[in-house]
Copies of this chain bind each other. A is one copy, B any other.
Amino acid sequence: MSKKEVKRDTKTLLFEKGAELIYLKGYNSTGLQEILQAAGVPKGSFYFHFKSKEDYVLQLMDYFGDFMFAWLDKTLNEPDKSPLTRLRTFFQEFLAYYKGNGYKGGCPIGNLSQEMGDINDTIASKAETLLGGMKIRFIKTLLEAQHQDEISSSIDVETTADFIINSWQGAVTRTKILRSDAAMLLFEKTIFDNLLKS
């Protein structure tokens, strides 16, 4: 293994172990020492890769984003399904994942938006950029649905994409206290059987 590979692996390890902690406990409640301990990485190595804990969480958000975008790109480009079915499938896949996780964690970007969005400009801006990446993919799929007459051409795809993202985030949060699939299924039903069919 070359020196460069070792370095990349350390970084990945810090992302993977830190992600688990921050995903469940939040940013402020996860100490740097805890991340280092979980990853088995000394402090010096951490500061070789990251300027600060904030620099680390910003790069971790991109790491979450890459995972989310790969998932979206796979599901939203499934050739054998209609555009709307592909979009609905994404939410069903997320629910299956969330359910398998005992409804713990939720959406990492939503969590960080909620915890840090109003008190840290850089994290807020990074979160909005990542939700923007989700939005652009939803817009593309909604436009395809319009081209195939699956939804009305009068629907404003841009604001609809935003409304879907926000309502979905709200359903994800409610699920944390409901501990059931009710809020997620209600979201899916209202968006796909009502809002997009009107």
Contact = CB atoms under 8 A, between A and B. Distances in A.
Interface in A156-180: 159, 162-163, 165-171, 173-174, 176-179
Interface stretch (A2-10, A67-75, A186-194): A186-194
B113 A174 contact: yes
Q: How many copies does the complex hold?
A: 2
A38 interface: no
A169 B173 contact: yes
A104 B62 CA distance: 24
Interface stretch (A39-47, A123-131, A143-151): A123-131
A95 interface: no
16 contacts: A24-B119, A26-B29, A102-B118, A110-B114, A114-B115, A117-B173, A118-B176, A124-B176, A159-B189, A162-B183, A163-B190, A165-B170, A166-B167, A166-B187, A167-B170, A169-B174
